[in-house]
Structure 1
């Protein structure tokens, strides 16, 4: 059950980050970006910031969205996308 919750929250986090940055990669892409964004947030803000640790709080979701936005910006820079 926790894997399903991680995937659903990851999808929500990835979708929110893609809306903020203006990128859209589809269902699977958003889910992967959300989960990787949670890992980035856990690394940047400490281990308790990630929803992957099991505790889903509003702040863990916010931190994960920030991590996913950072990840999308890095991917955009690597791909050569210009941010307006």
Structure 2
């Protein structure tokens, strides 16, 4: 996947995580959360035995799951 596709996946996943968990954030915050979520999903989901198709939609789904996990832990640590 190209860099533009990764940016789009990060933006969409970050925005979806924000919608799911609530809160506010801008374009860069959503991008950062989505990209970190993709890394988290790549590390966590296979260890849980969860394998999602490696196509564009599958990348968005897994990155969103990872972003939700990341935001949940981040907010628990920050107490927000």
Give the structure-1-normalised TM-score.
Answer: 0.78
Unaligned runs of 5+ in 2: none
Distance 1:7 1:57 in 2: 12
In structure 1, what is the Cα distance between the partners aligned to 2:3 and 2:61?
20
Equivalences for residues 7-26 of structure 1 within 5 A? 7-26=7-26
- Paired with 1:39 and 1:66, the residues of 2 have a C-alpha distance of 11
Matches of 1:76 and 1:56, distance apart in 2: 30
1:40 aligns with 2:40: yes
Q: Is the 8 A contact 2:9 2:63 kept in 1?
A: no
Looking at structure 2, the residues matched to 27 and 45 of structure 1 have their Cα atoms a distance apart, in angstroms, of 26
Aligned-residue RMSD, C-alpha: 2.3
Q: Distance in 2 between matches of 1:2 and 1:60?
A: 13
- Unpaired runs of 5+ residues, structure 1, are none
- The separation in 2 between residues aligned to 1:73 and 1:14, in whole angstroms, is 13
1:5-39, CA deviations, whole angstroms, 9 ceiling, x for partnerless residues?
11111101100000100022210000010010000
Could you tell me how far 1:57 is from its partner in structure 2? Answer: 3.4
TM-score relative to the length of structure 2: 0.82
